[in-house]
Chains A and B, each alone.
Chain A
C-alpha cells in the first residue's frame, strides 16, 4: 500500500511538472530545456529557506515559486528574443550551470551531500505526517496547479499564446507583445516547475544534486510527448505511463536487469517514434508540433 502511495505521489508531481512544461512547449512553442533546473531551484530554495533560514513551509513554497519565476525572467530576457536554436542551446547551458553550481556552492547547498531535514507542511496545529497526509497535500497542490493551467487554456490567453507559437510575425501584427508575453509565460513555467520542486522537497524531506539534470529533462520531455501537447489529460497520461513502466519490468521478473538504462533507451526510442508516428501524443490535441 505504501508503495502505491509513493507511486501516486510521484505521478502527481511529474504531472504538475509536465503540465507546466506544456504551458511553455505545447502552448507557447518555447522549447525549454531548463525545466528540470527550475524544478531543482525550487527544491533547493525550499530546503535552504526551511532548514537553514527557519522559514515556515508556506512562505518557503511561495518564495520558491518566486525564485523560479525570477530566474526564468533573468535567463529569458536576453535569450528569448534570440529565438530558435540559440534559445535551446542557451537553456541547455543554463541547466548544466545550475547542476554545476548546486554541486560546487557547498556553503549554500552542502554540495554533493544535499540538504536533509526539510519539514513536512503543517496547517494550524495539524502537522502532515503520514503517507496519507502527504498524499492529500500533494493531491491538493496538484488540483491547484491543474486548475490554474485549465484557466490559462480556457481563456483568451490561449489564443494569444498559440498565435505566437504558430507565427510570431502575425501575432505582432495583431498587437500582441510577443517578447513580453513569452517572458511572462516562461516565468510562469519556471515558477510552477519550482513549485513542483517544493512539493518534492516536502515529500522526500531531502534534496540532492542529482535529479535535476539532463536525465530529468529527457524524462519530462518524454512524459510531455507521450501524453501529448496542449492537453491536461495528456499531462497525467504521460507520467502515469512512464512511471508504471519500471513496475512492469518488476512484474515480469526482470530483476537482474539494468532497468535504469533500459528505461533511458526506451525514452529515447519513444521520442523518436512519437515524432515519426504520433507527434500529438497518446491523448493530445492535434496542435503542438506543427509540420
Chain B
C-alpha cells in the first residue's frame, strides 16, 4: 500500500498555545484512517492544516506525491481532497440538490460561459446534476432533493454535507466527527456509507471520531493525538493496547467512574 497522504512534523501555534506540535502520520490509499484523541488535542487544527485552511508553522504535507502545505484550500480540493466541517454548515436557503451541486467545478461558472453556454457547458451541467442526484441517492436524500436544506433535520444535514464533499469525486475525504449528534439508525447508515466508500468506490477516508466502537470496527489504521502530538499509530488492536490510550481515554473514564 502506498501512502496517498503523508503528514510530517507539522506544528501550529495560536499565541502561546501549541495546538498542533510536531504531528506526523500517513494515510494509505483505499483505507479508513481514524484520528482520535481527547478534546482540544489538535485534531481539527491538523485537518485545517492538511486542507489548506491554516498554514503550518513548520512541517510538510504531501498529497499524491505533491507538497501541499500552505496552498489554498480551493487548489487542494482540485487536487482531489475534500473535507467536511465539525458542523454540517449546509447552505440553508439553497435546495438540497443545489447544495450538492456547489461541489462540482465546471466551465459554466465562468461568466463568459454562463452567458454563451454551448453544448459542452450544458453537457457538463447535466452531468453534474446527474452525479449530484446519484450521490443524494447514496446518502438517502434523493426524495428531498427539491426541498430547502433548512427543512432537513440535523442528521440529514450532516449527510448532505458529506454528499457535498463527495460530489467532486475526491480521492480522499476528511470527515470531522461525522457521527456526532446522529441517532442510532442514521448512525448505522453512516458507518455503512463510509465502509462502502472505501470498498466499492475505492475512496480513502481520514476520519476524526470520538466513538471508540466505530473507530475500532471500521478503521484500518488509528492515529492517536494528545496535546498536539501524534503519540501512537497502528492497527486498532495495536493502538487500543497502547499505554497512551489508557491515559487518554480509559484513565479519564476510570477517574470519572470512581468519582
Give chain A's interface residues, CB within 8 Å of chain B: 148, 151-152, 155-157, 159-160, 162-163, 166-167, 169-178, 181, 184-185, 188, 286-287, 290
Contacts and interface: CB of A to CB of B under 8 A. Distances in A.
Contacts of A178: 74
Contacts of A287: 93
Nearest to A175: B77
Contacts of A157: 108-111, 114
B129 to A, nearest CB: 10
A173 B102 contact: no
Interface in B53-81: 53, 72-74, 77-78
Interface residue range, chain B: 35 or more
A170 B89 contact: yes
Given A167-B89, A173-B83, A156 B114 contact: yes
B105 interface: yes
B150 to A, nearest CB: 10
A179 to B, nearest CB: 9
B91 interface: yes
Contacts of B78: 175
Contacts of B72: 172, 177
Contact of B94 (A148, A162, A175): A162
Nearest to B108: A156
Given A166-B91, A167-B91, A152 B74 contact: no
Contact of A188 (B77, B89, B111): B111
Nearest to A159: B102
Contact of B168 (A156, A159, A174): A174
Contact of B53 (A172, A177, A185): A172
6 contacts: A152-B111, A155-B108, A155-B125, A170-B91, A173-B77, A188-B111
A107 to B, nearest CB: 36
Contacts of B85: 169-170, 173
For the complex of A and B, 8 pairs with smallest distance between CB atoms: A175-B77, A155-B114, A172-B73, A156-B108, A157-B114, A163-B102, A151-B115, A174-B103
Nearest to B148: A286
Contacts of B196: none
B101 A174 contact: no
B82 interface: yes
B98 interface: yes
A192 to B, nearest CB: 11
Contacts of B239: none
A156 B101 contact: yes
Contacts of A151: 114-115, 117
B211 interface: no
A166 B93 contact: yes
B128 interface: yes
Given A152-B111, A287-B93, 7 more contacts: A156-B106, A157-B114, A162-B91, A174-B77, A175-B78, A181-B109, A290-B93
A160 B113 CA distance: 14
A160 B91 contact: no
A160 B77 contact: no
A103 to B, nearest CB: 34
Given A151-B114, A169-B53, A175 B105 contact: yes
Contacts of B53: 169, 172-173
Nearest to A156: B108
Q: Which of A151, A178, A181 lies at the interface centre, i.e. has the most chain B CB atoms within 10 A of its CB?
A: A151
B92 A290 contact: yes
Contacts of B103: 174-175
A209 to B, nearest CB: 31
A152 B115 CA distance: 7
Nearest to A180: B74
B203 interface: no
Nearest to A167: B89
